[in-house]
Structure 1
Amino acid sequence: MTTATLNEKQGYKIMGISLPLFALLTAVILAATYMEVLPKGMIGAFALMMVIGAILNEIGSRLPIVKDYLGGGALVIIFGSAALVTYNVLPESASTIMANFMRGEGFLDFYIAALITGSILGMNRNLLVKASVRYLPAIIGGVVVALGLVGLVGALIGYGAKEAVLYIGVPIMGGGMGAGAVPLANIFGGSLGVEPADMLSVMVPAVALGNAFAIIVAGLLNRIGKVKQQLTGNGELLRTKEKQSKDHVEEKEEKIELNYQMMGKGLLLAVSFFVFGLIVEKFVPQVHAYAWMIITVALVKIAGLLPREYEVGAFQWFQFIMSNLTGVLLVGIGVAFTNLQQVIDAFSLQYILLVAVTIIGAVVGSGYIGKFVGFYPIESAITAGLCMANMGGTGDVAVLSASDRMKLMPFAQISSRIGGAFMLILASTLLGLL
């Protein structure tokens, strides 16, 4: 029986593949996994992660409450994948292959490079300029309300305002693990005379649980936006008198035929911008390479330095990556970056309440200030709020995927990288004051 015949006889599809054929492919890949003959490197990683991501996405997209209010497939992929590793459902060799693919082989960087380059070059230049100059106030609004609220609630429930701000609020809003909790632990440890490792053990549960809450709230905000249309731009950050989609380059792209050679140019541009960010970071290590990449791509776009065909190529490459490999990335986040046990161990009513109010404060503050400076409240709350409260680059992907707003990745990365650097400075200042 040919693949075409399988497709004709079976209407239900996963990843666009007929169910019988997908089941056959899955059986082959799982057999190799449990026989421990799955190839190392990207071949084995892609095979297993695409299958796991597709299956968990189907489950998440159909669970009644999860699909409508908790982020749907994205949430299930991340925590389902984490559970497969935590409870040893998958062989250790398979977990190692996937973790190495994300960390050592750089798939996360590869994915984010494509998204940042393509989404910025695919934006309307005027909208990019207008949005960028208003973004920092929205970030500050979210940080101020989040820290103020967690401090107040911490004092009221007996946890302590200072402890709630420093050990829960600041780590959550600090830009993730590598760029947030780790340097924060060093800063706090040096100032308080405590071992950084001990400080990290206090901060990690807050960061992990805050990331989980941010993903859930992202799904809820997406649902709210469908009910309260006046609060959302449906993926557009900046309010305009006319719908932004009329001016957006993405609308123009629909008239341009898919061109594989242009996509190749987009691939080269994406990795080149990323490499340039690493070069600049070598000289200015205080700012993350992602941040330098965002700044560089934005300046190139604003200055109009690239011919249109290159912008189109970068945008088409970004669409290909986002459409086909987001599930792979979410599986990687679950396997390599989500410690399910840490999240579970942090579950106490007092701790959960403080994490929750931090996330709520970030959403309310960034949403309100965002509206004041001309953003749609939901998009502002997601990017300037939740993407400050998640676990950096991996959290950005999860939050934007759960809220179905992946094209806002450039602003999410500004929150995680530049906003994260801002939090390190703020943390040092708060230690002196508190």
Structure 2
Amino acid sequence: MEKFKLIGLEMKYFIPITIILIVAIILGKLPPGMLGAFPLMMIIGAVLDYIGNKTPLVKDYLGGGPIVIIFVSAALLYFNILPAKEVKIITDFMISQRFLDFYIAALIVGSILGMNRKLLIKAAVGYLPVILGGVLVSLLLTGVVGALLGYGFKKAIFYIAIPIMGGGMGAGAVPLSQIFGQALNKEPSELLSVMVPAVALGNALAIVSAGLLDRIGKKYKNLSGEGKLLKVQDDSMCQQKELSVPTYNELGIGLIIATTFFILGNILSKFIPIHSYALMIISVAIAKILGIINDYYEECCAKWFNFIMKNFTAALLVGIGVAYTNLGEVISSFTPIYLLLVATTVVGAIIGTAIVGHLAGFYVVEASITAGLCMANMGGTGDVAVMSACHRMELMPFSQISSRIGGAFMLLLTSLLINLL
């Protein structure tokens, strides 16, 4: 049997590393900056990720590891378990040293450039309108219900509906909190404390809804393609190139291209009143569609994204829990109205994608699952859970469009809406 490992390390290495970190914390010798933050966040993240992915109900309905990492990390701060010096090291690394931006740049640039070009173009023409239908109905329905219940039209849309439909945690709620914080002159941590529970609950409801839609499709055969999305299927939309094992040089190329696109977004935001994240997304999408970047360099960016996602996602979530999540505000946000608005968001996504999908020649059940529920879940992990619940893993490429392109679209849409409203 393969030896038990965490972050690729056997226990005979993982445990001594953990002991050294604990001793450094006790003696006050954990170095500041990434030198201390990286190992501390990676070790905490690895342990909590394993626990979350093995805990019943949590792993099946609440997103597993990511949710546990965020909330337990926030609890370490809330209950003063993590010393103040280590809290400052993590917070400075996330905010002052901008590890969060570094991660988001790799994620956005790599995920878009790593997609099949035909898939991206076809998605823009045929699939994105279905996503848009789900987003519009979801936002409007949640806003109206929020207004009727006294929660507030704008507050329901921006604090609940948009985070849920935003593509998960790292690609959705976190960059959204940055966009909101800049526009509203509020701390991102304050905004995230409201958004994070919505994303978690929306993910759980999306998984349950996937199972229900599968049953509806079995009962009403005309509504389901039994795993086939389009009534006139184009197999080229499902073709995705396999990436080879990355070399050191390729990872370096991916790093410089991803960070340069981030800088380009900052430059453009000087002249265009839209958040730099949104401008970065537009720039990358244009470069991809027009074929400006050589296929080899696109693959380098995709490999860099995969490297960052594989090794640093758990660490990033620890940082989000410590630096951006106020557990007291999270607890106070759980009210019957809040839960109802989360449910309204997911139901609105199902209704909107069902209507537009039917008009666009999609099967209703499959359109609602891929373009609706895969927008409302927690990105990659949520996609797997949703597709497993409805037994439609063959539609994973479309769920990835929703999580990647749909999530990027939500950042762009939010950047525009927040300036208008």
Show CA shifts across 1:96-122 (max 9, x none). 111111111111111111122222221
In structure 1, what is the equivalent of residue 169 of structure 2? none
Q: Distance in 1 between matches of 2:225 and 2:326?
A: 34
Q: Is the 8 A contact 1:70 1:220 kept in 2?
A: no
Instruction: Give the aligned residue type for 1:144.
Output: V
Q: Distance in 1 between matches of 2:19 and 2:226?
A: 42
Between the two proteins, what is the percent identity of the paired residues?
A: 35
Q: 1:152 to 1:314 in 2, by over 3 A?
A: closer
- Tell me if 1:420 matches 2:420: no
User: What TM-score results when the alignment is normalised by the length of structure 2?
Assistant: 0.78
Q: 1:371 to 1:221 in 2, by over 3 A?
A: farther
Residue of structure 2 aligned with 1:142, choices 135, 138, 142: 135
Q: 1:118 to 1:216 in 2, by over 3 A?
A: same
In structure 2, what is the equivalent of residue 266 of structure 1? 254
Instruction: Give the aligned residue type for 2:246.
Output: L
Residue of structure 2 aligned with 1:30, choices 6, 22, 41: 22
Show CA shifts across 1:287-333 (max 9, x none). 11111111111211222222222112111111111111111111112
Q: Is the 8 A contact 2:41 2:318 kept in 1?
A: yes
- Tell me if 1:151 matches 2:144: yes
Q: Distance in 1 between matches of 2:73 and 2:240?
A: 36
User: What TM-score results when the alignment is normalised by the length of structure 1?
Assistant: 0.76
> In terms of mean alpha carbon deviation, does 221-230 or 298-307 score higher?
221-230
- Tell me if 1:377 matches 2:364: no
Q: Distance in 1 between matches of 2:345 and 2:158?
A: 9
Q: Is the 8 A contact 2:131 2:353 kept in 1?
A: yes
Q: 1:103 to 1:205 in 2, by over 3 A?
A: closer
Q: CA deviation at 1:46?
A: 0.6
Q: CA deviation at 1:62?
A: 0.7
Runs of 4+ in 1 over 6 A off after TM superposition: 221-234
Q: How many residues align?
A: 383
Instruction: Give the aligned residue type for 1:274.
Output: F
Q: Is the 8 A contact 1:45 1:98 kept in 2?
A: yes
Q: 1:264 to 1:153 in 2, by over 3 A?
A: closer
SS state at 2:319 partner: helix
Q: Is the 8 A contact 2:18 2:43 kept in 1?
A: yes
Correspondences of 1:10-159 after superposition (within 5 Å): 11-133=3-125, 134-135=127-128, 138-149=131-142, 151-152=144-145, 155=148, 159=149
Q: Is the 8 A contact 2:108 2:281 kept in 1?
A: yes
Q: 1:377 to 1:357 in 2, by over 3 A?
A: closer
**Unmatched runs of 5 consecutive residues or more in structure 2:** 164-175, 219-223, 385-395
Q: Distance in 2 between matches of 1:231 and 1:152?
A: 32
Q: Provide the aligned C-alpha RMSD in A.
A: 3.6
**Unmatched runs of 5 consecutive residues or more in structure 1:** 1-7, 187-195, 387-397, 429-434
SS state at 1:271 partner: helix
In structure 2, what is the equivalent of residue 191 of structure 1? none
Q: Is the 8 A contact 2:94 2:100 kept in 1?
A: yes
Show CA shifts across 1:166-224 (max 9, x none). 332343245633323663x58xxxxxxxxx99xx98x8765454234234446657888
> In terms of mean alpha carbon deviation, does 88-97 or 398-407 score higher?
398-407
Residue of structure 1 aligned with 2:263, choices 256, 275, 287: 275
Q: Distance in 2 between matches of 1:218 and 1:40?
A: 40
Residue of structure 2 aligned with 1:165, choices 135, 153, 158: 153
> In terms of mean alpha carbon deviation, does 47-56 or 321-330 score higher?
321-330
